[in-house]
Structure 1
Amino acid sequence: MAKQESLRTSECPVARTLESIGERWCLMIIREAFDDVRRFSEFQKNLGLAKNILASRLKQLVDLGVFEICPASDGSAYREYVLTEKGRSIFPIVVAMRQWGERYMFDEGEAHSLLLDNANGQPIQPLEVYSSEGKKLQPADCHRQRVIAGSKIPETF
């Protein structure tokens, strides 16, 4: 069997993303942070995750720049894990996974959670992919193009 190399050096952005944040506990920690969880003990309580694994994943996410460690917002001696701009930009990824799960991973009538808009209490609209002209795109409407270092990337906006 061939030795599997790290995906961190792959030319594929999907592969690099999976290698960085695709491990299930990383995504669950990020999901909790979107629900305003910030303290180690809260992550541990909500996820039921062993402390050593939680510490390892949080360190990985801090090293990646998804979280920064800040003094507690209430002035206590605790430290908090706060999403950076890089971390907050993961939100559409989590929403897309959530919406796919809502659609395909539950039987009809089975209890599950929904993501609601705070402004009106309604479920958020499904995420979709659009062209630069505003046309809804399907997988067959797109293609990948290799970008070589130093070459110009095609204009998209």
Structure 2
Amino acid sequence: DDDYDEEDDKEDGAGEAKKWLASLGVGEDEIKKISDIEAKNEFNAEKNLDGNDDSLIYIEGSDINALFNVMVNCRAISVTTGPLAGVPPTILSPVAFHGGTLASLKVRDNTVKVDNENFFSLELKGPIMPDAVYNLCNVLSSNINKFSVTFANIESSKAFSLAAKKKL
């Protein structure tokens, strides 16, 4: 069958499991409790990429505006205590969107001369989108015969590194 849908199969399986439990005399409240525990376990398995409660969501196109509206208007996704109380999660975007704020990079360059040979250093600090690294390396390789790149992740950007390993 070309119209096979794994989600429909999961729902049918869940329905059959509920019927089976009911036929054994398990009460509706217990079945709901079991379903809730299963849903929570599935959610925890999905969010446990790096042992962190942080999440990364990848959005393309104009859907970013809908996500932004949800993040601003939904109190459940904002921290309620501490220094970031009421501040919605951060959205990093390579293009501007309504309600967005531009954050510039801090750039520092140096030249070091060793044995009559010049070495150049370029340090970029701030939110750098993953595609910017690729584009920067392309520019460097087209203009310089030999170069090396070193990265230092900050804790808050760890999700980008992990996302590169697993397509979401």
TM-score range, shorter chain: under 0.3
Answer with 1 or 2: which has the greater Rg. 2
**TM-score, normalised to structure 1's length?**
0.26
More strand by share: 2
